[in-house]
Amino acid sequence: GGEAPDAVRVGLMPTITHGPALIALEDEFTPGLAGLPVDEQVFASGPEEVSALLSGSLDAAYIGPGPYVLAEGRAPGRLRLLAGVVNGGQAFVARPGTGIVDARDLAGRRVAVPAHGNTQDLTLRLLLDRAGLRASDQGGDVEVVPVKNAALVEAFRQGVVDAALAPAPFGELLTARGLAAPVPAMDRTIAEWEIPATVLVATEEFARANPAATLALVRASARAVARADAAPRAVARAFNDLLDESTGTRLDGGVLLKALDGTHASTAVARGAMARMVRAAEGAGYAGGPVAPAALVPRAG
């Protein structure tokens, strides 16, 4: 719209990898952004945030790199990558007794990821690629099964899947319940790639029309990132508060802190990591079109 907005609509998801976003909502956004109040909206998944951004019901969002990259492929130039937020934040776990210690052991296995085209799905494909394997929908023999985070416990309990690449804290949760064990070799590889768990994006339209608010958003987010990096406990508390508010449950603080161990709050976005995401998306046939390299570099102003 041409008229001045009356609030900045920021989307986020209630997961621990959105920790800085949670902190930002608690404090940093309270005074508003360049004179505009912040209207936060909670989403269940990345694709939903993308839909909201592209249909104009959201101005900016904390989102996984997977959905962002896919959106760039399908609707080029409509979104703008503003800054990094959290890197890491995913853990590879396997059902005890499956003997999975390396990516090569995944041949003929069923591996869960939260959803098609999300960060974990793309990362898993990169892992398989490195091990010379392919997902079954790409003609290989590793079955990549989309299992929503909430169903993960049940899926492991019933033995529906052998392993999972799960966003924090669900991998740790499975481990804590004895349903799965970490696979350190895989986690190391993922860490090397510095794949982001969460990035901050805005619609190009909003960023152009409201440069001051956009800049304020990036700065406020950066402050929140710094605080999250320094005080993981605050993140855990903010997460549990949000969880409690919406579901009436709280997760074990120990598990949360353990999950936060594997995350690394940072405004930097490793360029190679984003390029890898694009490659994985293209390989899986998810990309609707080519992604301009410029879209992979954060751009605040």
Partner 1 sequence: MSTAAGGAGAAGGRAVRASRGARAAAIGFLRRSWFVLLILLVWWLVTAAGWVDPYKLPSPGDVLGTLGTLLTERALLVDLGATLLRLVEGWAIGVVAGVLLGILTGGSRVLEDGIRPVIAGLQAVPTIAFLPLAILWFGFNGTAVLAITAFGTFKPMALATYGAMHQISPTLLMAGRALGARGLFLQRTLVFPAIVPSLVTGLKMGWSFAWRALMAAEIVVTGAAGLGGVLELGREIGAIDVVMAVILVILVVGIATEQLVFARLERWVNRRWGLVGAR
Interface positions with partner 1 (CB under 8 A): 41-45, 47-52, 54-58, 67, 70-71, 74-75, 78, 115-118, 137, 145-151, 153-155, 158, 160, 246-249, 285-286, 288
Nearer to partner 1, 253 or 285 (CB): 285
Q: How many CB atoms lie within 10 A of CB 107?
A: 14
Q: Residue 176: what residue type?
A: A
Nearer to partner 1, 86 or 161 (CB): 161
Least gap, CB of 146 to partner 1 (angstroms): 5
Q: Residue 165: what residue type?
A: L
d(Cα 196, Cα 264) in Å, to the nearest integer?
Answer: 9
Least gap, CB of 192 to partner 1 (angstroms): 26
Least gap, CB of 18 to partner 1 (angstroms): 15
Least gap, CB of 185 to partner 1 (angstroms): 26
Least gap, CB of 265 to partner 1 (angstroms): 26
Least gap, CB of 231 to partner 1 (angstroms): 27
Least gap, CB of 12 to partner 1 (angstroms): 12
d(Cα 155, Cα 150) in Å, to the nearest integer?
Answer: 9
